[in-house]
Chains A and B, each alone.
Chain A
Amino acid sequence: AQSVTQLDSQVPVFEEAPVELRCNYSSSVSVYLFWYVQYPNQGLQLLLKYLSGSTLVKGINGFEAEFNKSQTSFHLRKPSVHISDTAEYFCAVSEYGGGSNYKLTFGKGTLLTVNP
């Protein structure tokens, strides 16, 4: 079975500061990795995904994440945050290929609050 741990439940930062949201996973097989963002009272929006290839993945809104297989991590970063980045961020993992029916296992989320 796979699991996802988001190491911080809340991350407060000031506007224009850099931010890193940490995600570790465990799995006995190869995985796909995802970050989703949820703004208040909305559904989840895909930020970025790692399926294969380059370990540095760029997503929407200036976010990027790096897949580290040896550390089983997929941390999300942004060099300079805006007030509008205030949201909850979810890391998710699925088993590689179709055998899992592309089911996702989610972390419990990290609330990013950007203060002026």
Chain B
Amino acid sequence: DAGITQSPRHKVTETGTPVTLRCHQTENHRYMYWYRQDPGHGLRLIHYSYGVKDTDKGEVSDGYSVSRSKTEDFLLTLESATSSQTSVYFCAISGGDLDGAQYFGPGTRLLVL
């Protein structure tokens, strides 16, 4: 299994509070991604990174920001959590041309009350 961990694994928070989710990899891969998974929508890309300090928006980036100060860590921040951000969040990594695939972490289940 690819060395990807996510923390926390579960979180309950209140509307309006900031929340930060962490993704940590031990594979030294260049590319990292944050997705959210909701019933009926599959997985949707929030933000991604193609190198340290290099990030870009995905299809559902409103209300989210990211940072990547080290190769191994990719942080997702909900600036002011809303109930619509209740979801399961997955981090993924890719080595790019090494094999073209993405490998996923175990997920973080977030409930915003």
Q: Which residues of A line the B interface, CB within 8 A?
A: 32, 34, 36, 42-46, 49, 51, 90, 94, 98, 101-104, 106-109
Contacts and interface: CB of A to CB of B under 8 A. Distances in A.
A43 B107 contact: yes
A106 B48 CA distance: 15
Main secondary structure on chain B at its contact with chain A?
strand
B104 interface: yes
Interface of B: 31, 33, 40-45, 48, 50, 56, 58, 90, 92, 94, 96-97, 99-107
B48 A101 contact: yes
A103 B100 contact: no
A34 B50 CA distance: 20
A94 B103 contact: no
A103 B43 contact: no
A51 B44 CA distance: 22
Contacts of A109: 42
B31 A101 contact: yes
Contacts of A90: 42-43
Nearest to A32: B100
Nearest to A44: B104
Contacts of A43: 90, 104-107
B32 to A, nearest CB: 10
B43 A45 contact: no
A112 B97 CA distance: 31
A103 B58 contact: yes
Identify the interface centre among A34, A36, A44, A49: most chain B CB within 10 Å of its CB.
Answer: A44
B90 A106 contact: no
